Structure 1
């Protein structure tokens, strides 16, 4: 399928079988940013890049149309439309919409799919575009969880990343969110940035722990092709991240967070008991979700599709009565098995050993012998060393190779 045939997209009946028996969430992509961070390759646009071709208002009008069309598609032939058990508003910078704009987004989800009782509703936010009034407004609108982009507490590290917030603002924003009634607050970290020192990481961890949040995500810096950071590395202006340094930083992060009662539940995520991100668990556990917004990806019953990327094209497609689908694929049994191993093995709950195919069992046993996996009951779980080599462990199980 190409963008010119977007009107032809529909889900086959087979994909709708069992709908509602699996986790169901809604992802909303907000494509707007005030500035472009040098390391980011997400589908985002600054006001200068968009000009007059698109606006938050045209995006919101398109979003309402897409969510309504999605609920109609999933509920066709008298099927019950699944209520969203989780909602995640990401981007981009959702907080640029303000409290009122994010309230409108959640109203659109309620009026289309509806919210299940006890639904988890998350928004990402840039600390610089939040305030006590912002948090009070979104809490009142029904948001239950906030994820704040902190990245680092070191000013020179933030400059390398082209982050605009001041080092202390993320902790202050987390405190404001908790004061507004948010029980669940996440801080995002990035480690391994060129120029980051051990003491910089420790200062970041000190700041994170001082905020008393119940969830932390920590990601190693990846130099993505096409970004400003990649161009600087290619020109020799910055060194590429060092794998040994990244491993040492990860171990330090894990030790400090674990000491503070934040335990890993996915390779890059730590939480206090009961504070795991349910929306992301839905992805990792093979659930269904409708992704709305420019470039958003969706998955229902083994069918995956993704939207056109540009906000103007997105709004135009929906205004013409078409779903803004750029392309789609139906996952084969082999695809679904591969993705299950890739995703579930990253979780602390581990992968049932019965999920391994005959040709993969021996590779799993070798990983246990090499202390990369441990057998916990009938499940295979990454060890501390295995988490450092998670991608390789997964690859070698799927290919049946020895881990180098």
Structure 2
């Protein structure tokens, strides 16, 4: 089952937020994340809050859009009650799960709900994730017509044997087709890849990169496989059925990805993300990394507005019960104090290519800068200009760099 929600204070039944969330309101962007918690099958490595039909007995997938629309409308009321002036939504991201298991008509209804509640900025980025076998030319064209601007395909690998280990169901030969169909619909395209799957070789990973680059996507993500406790894959590794991912091999794979994508004209802008140019970065994900505001809709979805963070109940049945009862689906929340916000700024800001202002470091962190430069983990010229920017070796050891910057 998906991992547990964090522990924190109970959220009020009415979902109302403290008036302090509007401080600096107009200096931050506002996004909306819509979680669609359904999948046809559960992949063995997945720790996301997703459910197959067998796991949501008594909950109708067809009812979900209506429930989420209620939360969206309630979100508008909650923010209005704080005195926040209406602010158009900059980005909308439909994630999951597999959002495209819902009919396009329901995805369009949800996007219309966001538009009616808050308005969409004229240049709003509207993304949906999709499995390659969950869309066709007609549905992609309908998504574009409904106002979606971008689709992120879960490609993961070009090697059938690797996909089988991950329990992904699509045929790699479908990747060029879905990219072509998305482009024909006028959608921007991102491809998501995973490296370090048990049994995957460097040549396997090279084949995946080559297939991805050959499609000329606007954006690529490459994530190292993490074996999450409680997943089927973790149990298989514990029983010795498949080997544990090799950290050194994963590092080699990351370096190969960076070299291959850079040679193909893609620019690194976050540890695991590359884009054709700055205009094709994922603006929604950048909002997370730069501490902007967003409202998360759906079971297990997380939200953050003005230093207050909260998260919804996880199971679709519990979510449906809360919505039907007219109470907030939030399970818990926390108000971030100044030191926690600084820590998160260091953690997240150091991940992106623009780097982290050295003014965000305390005295112990500033004392580490010279040694981090000497160790080749941060860029010396950028540090002299007042920013912490990771080098390629620094990206490979990003967690260790952050610990040193935080003096921990």
TM over 0.5: yes
Which residue of structure 2 lines up, in the alignment, with residue 193 of structure 1?
Answer: 197
1:282 is displaced (CA, Å) by 0.5
TM normalised by structure 1 equals 0.96
Which residue of structure 1 lines up, in the alignment, with residue 270 of structure 2?
Answer: 266
| Residue 176 of structure 2, aligned match among 171, 174, 184 | 171
1:14 is displaced (CA, Å) by 0.7
Per the alignment, do residues 329 and 198 of structure 1 end up closer, same or farther by CA in structure 2, a change over 3 Å counting?
Answer: same
Q: 2: CA distance between counterparts of 1:396 and 1:2?
A: 27
Q: Deviations over 1:41-64 (max 9, x none)?
A: 10101112112x212332212111
Which residue of structure 2 lines up, in the alignment, with residue 66 of structure 1?
Answer: 71
| Residue 210 of structure 1, aligned match among 206, 214, 230 | 214
1:310 is displaced (CA, Å) by 0.9
Q: Which has the higher mean CA deviation after the structures are superposed, 103-112 or 87-96?
A: 103-112
Matched residues, number? 398
Contact 1:37 1:161 in 2 (8 A): yes
1:303 is displaced (CA, Å) by 0.6
Q: 2: CA distance between counterparts of 1:224 and 1:239?
A: 14
Q: Which has the higher mean CA deviation after the structures are superposed, 318-327 or 167-176?
A: 167-176
Q: 2: CA distance between counterparts of 1:388 and 1:3?
A: 35
Which residue of structure 2 lines up, in the alignment, with residue 281 of structure 1?
Answer: 286
Q: 2: CA distance between counterparts of 1:199 and 1:5?
A: 49
Q: 1: CA distance between counterparts of 2:103 and 2:83?
A: 37
Please list every run of 5 or more consecutive structure 2 residues that lacks an aligned counterpart in the other structure.
1-6
Please tell me whether residue 302 in structure 1 is matched to residue 307 in structure 2.
yes
SS at match of 1:160: helix
Please list every run of 5 or more consecutive structure 1 residues that lacks an aligned counterpart in the other structure.
none
Per the alignment, do residues 77 and 290 of structure 1 end up closer, same or farther by CA in structure 2, a change over 3 Å counting?
Answer: closer
Which residue of structure 2 lines up, in the alignment, with residue 234 of structure 1?
Answer: 238
Please tell me whether residue 16 in structure 1 is matched to residue 14 in structure 2.
no
Q: 1: CA distance between counterparts of 2:397 and 2:329?
A: 38
Q: 2: CA distance between counterparts of 1:330 and 1:354?
A: 23
Q: Deviations over 1:353-397 (max 9, x none)?
A: 121111210112211121100141221100011010011111121
| Residue 312 of structure 1, aligned match among 290, 300, 317 | 317
Alignment of 1:4-403 (within 5 A): 6-51=12-57, 53-76=58-81, 78-182=83-187, 184-273=188-277, 274-375=279-380, 376=382, 377-399=385-407
Q: 2: CA distance between counterparts of 1:319 and 1:325?
A: 14
1:263 is displaced (CA, Å) by 1.0
SS at match of 2:47: coil
